[in-house]
């Protein structure tokens, strides 16, 4: 499982980094995937995907 952020869509709200800080970090008001493997343990990536207001996060299967 691999989370991907569309930086064109991201508005830097911070939801994903708050929900799943091991995976997402805000840099220059854009979310970056810091550690894509971290989500496999907690399942937090799906929550971040669901709570992104602009649907900028997608989860790709490996
Ligand atoms: S939740 Fe969506 S819009 Fe907000 S920082 Fe994360 S990727 Fe960007």
- The CATH number covering residue 30 comes to 3.30.70.20
pTM across the whole model: 0.92
Q: How many domains does the chain have?
A: 1
Q: Helix (H, G, I), strand (E, B), or coil: what is residue 53?
A: coil
Tell which atom from ligand 1 comes closest to the C-alpha of 55: 2
Q: Which of 3, 8, 9, 11 to mutate to test the pocket of ligand 1 (most atoms within 8 A of CB)?
A: 11
Work out the average pLDDT over 2-18: 96
Cβ-contact 4, 56 below 8 angstroms: no
Cβ-contact 52, 15 below 8 angstroms: yes
Would you state the pLDDT for residue 41? 66
Per-residue pLDDT band for 53 (boundaries 50, 70, 90) equals very high
> Ligand 1 pocket by C-beta < 6 Å: which residues?
5, 10-16, 24, 31, 52-54, 56-57
Chain segment 11-47, per-residue pLDDT in tens: 999 999 999 999 999 999 999 999 988 876 667 889 9
Query: Closest Cα partner for 6 from 39, 32, 26, 25?
Result: 32
Tell which atom from ligand 1 comes closest to the C-alpha of 9: 3
Cβ-contact 62, 15 below 8 angstroms: no
Would you state the pLDDT for residue 62? 76
In terms of residue numbers, what domain contains 53?
2-60
Would you state the pLDDT for residue 15? 97
């Amino acid at each position: 499982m691999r989370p991907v952020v569309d930086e064109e869509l991201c508005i830097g709200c911070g939801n994903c980094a708050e929900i799943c800080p091991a995976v997402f970090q805000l840099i220059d008001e854009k979310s970056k995937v810091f550690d894509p493997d971290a989500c496999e343990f907690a399942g937090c990536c799906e929550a971040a995907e669901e709570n992104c207001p602009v649907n900028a996060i997608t989860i790709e299967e490996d």
